[in-house]
Homo-oligomer: A and B are copies of this chain.
Amino acid sequence: MTDELSSLLSPNYKLWLEHDGEYVFGPGAYAILVSIDEEGTITKGAEALGMSYRYAWGVIKKIEKKLGFPLLETFKGGTVGGGGAIVTEKGKQLMEMFVRVKTELDHVIQNK
């Protein structure tokens, strides 16, 4: 009977990081940072996720405000390229913390 249920239903979850019980960083923000890191600019990173620059930037700014440190460093380009954005060291560490927990939770979920 339990096997019947296990074949009917599969577990899923949402992970986030919080501070004093307040939501700070979740899968949406993580995806934005990954995409910016891959694409090299906020505009292209947002675009690759079907988001506006304004939305993606807003998500990141909100987290930076809560954490008190920048997740992105933006710079102006030279004559070619037009600048870009990179994820800061602390931003990378935040991503790593999220992935580390997510990997372990995925492991539990996939063995169900």
Chain A residues with CB under 8 Å of chain B are 1-2, 5-6, 8-19, 24-25, 67, 89-90, 93-94, 96-97, 101, 104-105, 108-109, 112
The 5 A-B residue pairs with the shortest CB-CB distance in the complex, in nearest-first order: A9-B17, A104-B108, A11-B101, A13-B15, A13-B13
Q: How far is the CA of A96 from the CA of B19 in the complex (A)?
A: 30
From B13, B18, B93, contact of A105 by CB (8 A): B13
Partner of A101, one of B8, B24, B25, B109: B109
CA distance A9 to B25 in the complex (A): 9
Q: Within the complex, which residue of B9, B18, B19 is in contact with A24, where a contact is CB–CB below 8 Å?
A: B9
- A17 pairs with B25, CB closer than 8 A: no
Establish whether residues A19 and B8, one from each chain, have CB atoms under 8 Å apart when the complex forms: yes
B97 & A1 in contact (Cβ 8 Å cutoff):
no
Beyond A9-B25, A12-B16, A105-B108, list 18 extra A-B contacts (CB 8 Å): A1-B93, A5-B93, A5-B97, A8-B19, A8-B67, A9-B17, A9-B24, A10-B18, A11-B15, A11-B16, A11-B18, A11-B101, A101-B108, A101-B109, A101-B112, A104-B108, A105-B109, A108-B108
